Amino acid sequence: MTQKPLTHLSEDEKIFQEAVEAFARAEIGPRVMAMDEAQKLDQKIIDQCFQMGLMGIEVPEKFGGAESSFTSAILAIEALATVDPSVSVFVDVQNTLVNNAILRWGDEGLKEKYLPRMCAEWVGSYALSESGSGSDAFALATRAVDAGDHWELTGSKLWITNGAEANLYIVFATIDPDAGYRGITAFLVERDFEGFSVGKKEDKLGIRASSTVELLFDGCKVPKENVLGEVGKGYKVAIETLNEGRIGIGAQMIGLAKGALNAAMEYVADRKQFGKSVGTFQGMQFQIAQMATDLEAARLLVYNAARLKDAGAPFLKEAAMAKLYTSQVAERVASGSVELFGGVGFTKEYPAEKFYRDAKIGSIYEGTSNMQLQTIAKLLAK
């Protein structure tokens, strides 16, 4: 029997992705520019993401989830990004970072307490970055002190996606600054915990409807049972979760590129110059062919990494390659889309300029392109 390639999609997976994309076009599409201008997700869209089961794709049915695969989550993230990368990353963080971390590192008590809420109504956020710890992820200043029957967190976090909407945050803090990464511990912090507050919201270039905020901890009281994983082992939670998250960002980037390319192809088919459609000009056709080829290569990298993760096989190098390459392709395709639109591509009347703005973040968050290159180089040297 011939083995199917890791990039093959089953009929059920195709149907699922098409359904998510149809939802995105019908419900999110008419709200994209309004949400971008308001710098806020429409509550109706948030509610619909829960109603469609998109906020708990891998969570077992006993906790209210769809009990599907990591690949299914990736397909949904890609489909949403074809219309709005802001909604895509909202769903991405929920699934690939927050839910995945609780599923892997949470004990049964934490799973029973939080996963049903995450599937039904609670938004999750992942809080690692600080002003002094970006690529140097474990140079954390946020401190956790054992106060007997609870932990107390003091410090701040920056660049936190979903922070404005979230009800539950995975927060990384150090119990011993002198211990380096061995002092890092992960905590589950609820929005209404004493000593916790949401600070400044960033005014961003792209994915503007996706909230990016500062989090403040002033002796924030966290129950002892809300440690995620083991005390002092938070670095493992962070590293292994982000490895999976990179595939999610890759899915966001290929979805964005697909949306930008599709919009450009529709436009050049209708646009007339010199008495015929500009889409019939060889110069245009060659540009589109190159973009479509780059996109297909990027998609195969993402699907392959997702399949490897689902299979329990090593995927770190493949995830880093997928994130690196898809972010490059997304920028190239989004830029090319603006050019194919011509003058109107530089206006907000058409979607090209927004895809162009949204694409830039792909090479920055959840590990910069330089960090991906470093990871790939290290793994190739082994």
Q: What is the pLDDT of residues 249-262, one digit of tens each?
A: 999 999 999 999 99
| 106 lies in the same domain as 159 | no
| 360 lies in the same domain as 258 | yes
The residue type found at 16 is F
Among 201, 218, 233, the domain boundary falls at 233
Can you give the residue range of the structural domain that contains 229? 125-233
Q: How do residues 44-64 score in pLDDT, each as one tens digit?
A: 999 999 999 999 999 999 999
Is the pLDDT reported for residue 84 higher than 60?
yes
| 58 lies in the same domain as 91 | yes
Active site residue 21: no
User: With bands split at pLDDT 50, 70 and 90, how would you rate the model's confidence at 331?
Assistant: very high
Is the pLDDT reported for residue 7 higher than 70?
no
Asked if 220 contacts 196 with a C-beta cutoff of 8 angstroms, the reply is yes
6 domain-assigned: no
Going by C-alpha positions, the residue among 230, 269, 260, 304 that lies closest to residue 83 is 260
Is the pLDDT reported for residue 173 higher than 80?
yes
Q: How do residues 109-125 score in pLDDT, each as one tens digit?
A: 999 999 999 999 999 99
- Per-residue confidence (pLDDT) for residue 133, from 0 to 100: 86
Alpha carbons 179 and 131: distance in angstroms, whole number: 20
Among 203, 233, 263, the domain boundary falls at 233
131 domain-assigned: yes
Is the pLDDT reported for residue 339 higher than 60?
yes
Tell me what the pLDDT averaged over the chain comes to: 96
User: With bands split at pLDDT 50, 70 and 90, how would you rate the model's confidence at 237?
Assistant: very high
- pLDDT, average across residues 314-319: 97
- For tokens 């995450």, the residue is 118
CATH number of the domain residue 277 falls in: 1.20.140.10
- pLDDT, average across residues 154-173: 98
User: DSSP assignment, residue 185?
Assistant: E
Of the listed 152, 318, 353, 366, which one is catalytic?
A: 366
- Per-residue confidence (pLDDT) for residue 122, from 0 to 100: 98
| 114 lies in the same domain as 137 | no
76 domain-assigned: yes
Tokens found for residue 52: 């469609």
| 19 lies in the same domain as 111 | yes
Alpha carbons 141 and 304: distance in angstroms, whole number: 37
- Per-residue confidence (pLDDT) for residue 46, from 0 to 100: 98
| 242 lies in the same domain as 377 | yes
5 domain-assigned: no
85 domain-assigned: yes
| 168 lies in the same domain as 50 | no
Is the pLDDT reported for residue 358 higher than 80?
yes
| 26 lies in the same domain as 67 | yes
- Per-residue confidence (pLDDT) for residue 377, from 0 to 100: 98
Among 137-141, 196-200, 327-331, which stretch is predicted with the lowest mean pLDDT?
137-141
Is the pLDDT reported for residue 274 higher than 70?
yes
| 74 lies in the same domain as 108 | yes
Alpha carbons 57 and 52: distance in angstroms, whole number: 10
- Per-residue confidence (pLDDT) for residue 301, from 0 to 100: 97
Is the pLDDT reported for residue 136 higher than 90?
no
Q: What is the pTM of this model?
A: 0.96
| 170 lies in the same domain as 221 | yes
Among 213, 233, 253, the domain boundary falls at 233
- Per-residue confidence (pLDDT) for residue 3, from 0 to 100: 46
| 82 lies in the same domain as 144 | no
| 252 lies in the same domain as 375 | yes
SS (H, E, C) the chain: CCCCCCCCCCHHHHHHHHHHHHHHHHHHHHHHHHHHHHCCCCHHHHHHHHHCCCCCCCCCHHHCCCCCCHHHHHHHHHHHHCCCHHHHHHHHHHHHHHHHHHHHHCCHHHHHHHHHHHHHCCCEEEECCECCECCCCCCCCCEEEECCCEEEEEEEEEEEECCCCCCEEEEEEECCHHHHHHHEEEEEEECCCCCEEEEEECCCCCCCCCCEEEEEEEEEEEEHHHEECCCCCHHHHHHHHHHHHHHHHHHHHHHHHHHHHHHHHHHHHHCEECCEEHHHCHHHHHHHHHHHHHHHHHHHHHHHHHHHHHCCCCCHHHHHHHHHHHHHHHHHHHHHHHHHHHHHHHCCCCCHHHHHHHHHHHHCCCCCHHHHHHHHHHHHHC
Residue 22 contacts by C-beta under 8 Å, 6 or more apart in sequence?
A: none
312 domain-assigned: yes
CATH number of the domain residue 197 falls in: 2.40.110.10
- Residue 289: half-sphere exposure toward Cβ, Cα within 13 Å: 8
CATH number of the domain residue 50 falls in: 1.10.540.10
Is the pLDDT reported for residue 149 higher than 80?
yes
- Per-residue confidence (pLDDT) for residue 134, from 0 to 100: 80
Q: Domain total for the chain?
A: 3
2 domain-assigned: no
- Per-residue confidence (pLDDT) for residue 6, from 0 to 100: 61
1 domain-assigned: no
